[in-house]
């Protein structure tokens, strides 16, 4: 079945550690997105990519990094510079310049 797979479902980060969240899609979508969801704040855009080897900062990119080496994959690294990383992270994909976006099941990141 076509869809978006995020892993792991739960992740714990130690202070000073970088962690990487995985996002894979087999929908043949050009565009991929990373969002952060905090209680009461809806979804906020971290990074997005419209094609391989190209990505753009969203509204809250500080402390995060991404890569897009393959069309199917868009991993997100939460670096030690992100001082408040505890949140629910959602990956999405869609046709570039069109809606809707389709979402993965998310990764819940917590601090140890």
Partner 1 sequence: EDKVVQSPLSLVVHEGDTVTLNCSYEVTNFRSLLWYKQEKKAPTFLFMLTSSGIEKKSGRLSSILDKKELFSILNITATQTGDSAVYLCAVSGEYGNKLVFGAGTILRVKS
Per CB under 8 A, residues contacting partner 1 are 4, 31, 33, 35, 40-45, 48, 50, 58, 90, 94, 96-106
Q: Tell me the H-state helices in the chain.
A: none
How far does the chain reach from its first CA to its final CA, in angstroms?
35
Which residue lies nearer to partner 1 by CB, 12 or 96? Answer: 96
Measured from the CB atom, is 45 or 80 closer to partner 1?
45
Minimum CB–partner distance for residue 13 and partner 1 (Å): 21
List the structure tokens of 46.
Answer: 């971290």
CB of 6 to partner 1, least distance (A): 9
- The string of DSSP codes covering 86-101 is -EEEEEEEE-TT----
């Amino acid at each position: 079945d076509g869809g978006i797979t995020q892993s792991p479902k739960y992740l714990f980060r130690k202070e000073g550690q970088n962690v990487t969240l995985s996002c894979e899609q087999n929908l043949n979508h050009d565009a991929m997105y990373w969002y952060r969801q905090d209680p009461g704040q809806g979804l906020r855009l971290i990074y997005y990519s419209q094609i391989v080897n190209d990505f753009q900062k969203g509204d809250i990119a500080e402390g995060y990094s991404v890569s897009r080496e393959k069309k199917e994959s868009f991993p997100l690294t939460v670096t030690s510079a992100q001082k408040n990383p505890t949140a629910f992270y959602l990956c999405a994909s869609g046709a570039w310049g069109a809606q809707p976006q389709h979402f993965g099941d998310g990764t819940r990141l917590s601090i140890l």
